[in-house]
Amino acid sequence: MVLACVCPWDGQLSMVSWTKVPDKNPIAVFSPEFGVSVPYTYRERIDFLRTTPMDGSIALKNVTHQDIGLYHCSVQTFPQGPWTKDFQVEDLDEPPEDNNNTEPPPPEEVTVDSEVVAEESSNLTISCKHPHNGTIYQVILEKMPHGRPWVIIGICKKVEGGLVGEDYSERGRVNCADSLDLSLHLTDVASGDDGLYRCTFNTDVGVQTTVVQLRTAPPGGFSLSLYMLYVYIGAGAAGLVLFISFLILALRLRKKKRREEYRVKLHPTQRQKWRQWQRQ
């Protein structure tokens, strides 16, 4: 099975990435500089055709029913930026469906590793930091708007001992550090900035990803985290007041008991003086 993905414009191809719904990790990545990266499950089955400099097509061998689904091709180019194409692979043994009744493919299932809530009109930085072992040679930052496929917005990679950063974001600014820590700085956060942000780390031990979900809230609006903080503070204060009340009550009862014991031990001639002293 050949999935043709040829970028229609001229330029320089930086990278090609293929994903298959609902998997969140790429099934094949090609870079003219670093070569091909394919996970173990596809290693003997996927080949990049590379018939032209802007060709990101792949050939999939030994196709089975498990290969049915939606494929997403993302071609990263310079200077015009990313170009994407989707493929829906179906079973030829089944009768074709009516085009008028076709349903959109199911949404991709993504596991979110962390969540960030930002107020609109504020500033925010989303960082890609590699938490695993291994040598990193490329980091890709992608965004998934609601109901849309992944779009590359930034790349950070090492080229011939140097550092190259590529910024394709329409919102914010992509920064690339020497340690390949890639970050996206958003100024004046808007509702359109919310969604999923995926960091893909290409390392010498394989491809690894982390996903951050960004939610935006109106300025001065309801904040669940702030509300829970107030609840915890109120509960702690109430518990402290209750503890102090019980402590005072216990001390008073103890003092009263000690007075009663002392009165029993007094001599009858001294009890009268004790009662007179209490009245005073």
CATH number of the domain residue 140 falls in: 2.60.40.10
Are 116 and 213 contained in the same domain? yes
Please write down the long-range contacts of 59-66, taking CB distance under 8 Å and 24 or more positions apart: 59/1, 59/2, 59/3, 60/1, 60/2, 60/3, 63/1, 65/91
Domain stops at, among 167, 188, 221: 221
Q: Is residue 176 part of a domain?
A: yes
Determine the residue type at 214.
L
Are 204 and 147 contained in the same domain? yes
DSSP assignment, residue 96?
P
Q: Is residue 242 part of a domain?
A: yes
Are 202 and 235 contained in the same domain? no
Under the banding of pLDDT at 50, 70 and 90, the label for residue 58 is very high
Q: Which residues have a Cβ under 8 Å from the Cβ of 199 and sit 6 or more positions away? A: 128, 139, 140, 141, 182, 209, 210, 211, 212
Under the banding of pLDDT at 50, 70 and 90, the label for residue 182 is confident
Q: Is residue 32 part of a domain?
A: yes
Are 33 and 55 contained in the same domain? yes
Are 5 and 60 contained in the same domain? yes
Ranking 46-60, 69-83, 204-218 by mean pLDDT, the lowest is: 204-218
Under the banding of pLDDT at 50, 70 and 90, the label for residue 95 is very low
CA-to-CA distance for 49 and 202, rounded, in angstroms?
Answer: 21
pLDDT(15) > 70? yes
Q: Is residue 65 part of a domain?
A: yes
The whole-number pLDDT of residue 4 equals 92
Domain that holds residue 199: 110-221
Domain stops at, among 199, 221, 243: 221
Structural contact between residues 79 and 60, judged by C-beta atoms closer than 8 angstroms: no
Are 117 and 47 contained in the same domain? no
Q: Is residue 48 part of a domain?
A: yes
Rounded mean pLDDT, 136-157: 83
Under the banding of pLDDT at 50, 70 and 90, the label for residue 138 is confident
Rounded mean pLDDT, 79-92: 84
Q: Which residues have a Cβ under 8 Å from the Cβ of 77 and sit 6 or more positions away? A: 7, 9, 11, 12, 13, 14, 54, 83
pLDDT(1) > 50? yes
Are 148 and 168 contained in the same domain? yes
Radius of gyration from C-alpha coordinates of the chain: 33
Rounded mean pLDDT, 169-198: 86
Q: Is residue 273 part of a domain?
A: no
Are 67 and 135 contained in the same domain? no
Rounded mean pLDDT, 244-270: 73
Rounded mean pLDDT, 27-39: 89
| Percentage with pLDDT > 70 across the chain | 81
Q: Which residues have a Cβ under 8 Å from the Cβ of 136 and sit 6 or more positions away? A: 130, 180, 201, 202, 203
| 173 strand-pairing partners | 185
Residue 186, CB-side half-sphere exposure with 13 Å CA sphere: 23
Asked whether the CA dihedral 63, 7, 15, 156 is positive or negative, the reply is negative
Rounded mean pLDDT, 21-29: 82
Domain stops at, among 200, 221, 242: 221
Q: Is residue 99 part of a domain?
A: no
Q: Of 100 and 16, which is predicted with more confidence?
A: 16
Are 143 and 177 contained in the same domain? yes
Are 155 and 255 contained in the same domain? no
The whole-number pLDDT of residue 96 equals 46
Under the banding of pLDDT at 50, 70 and 90, the label for residue 57 is very high
pLDDT(108) > 70? no
Number of folded domains in the chain?
Answer: 3
Are 153 and 255 contained in the same domain? no
Are 203 and 231 contained in the same domain? no
Ranking 127-141, 150-164, 252-266 by mean pLDDT, the lowest is: 252-266
The whole-number pLDDT of residue 273 equals 56
Q: Is residue 278 part of a domain?
A: no
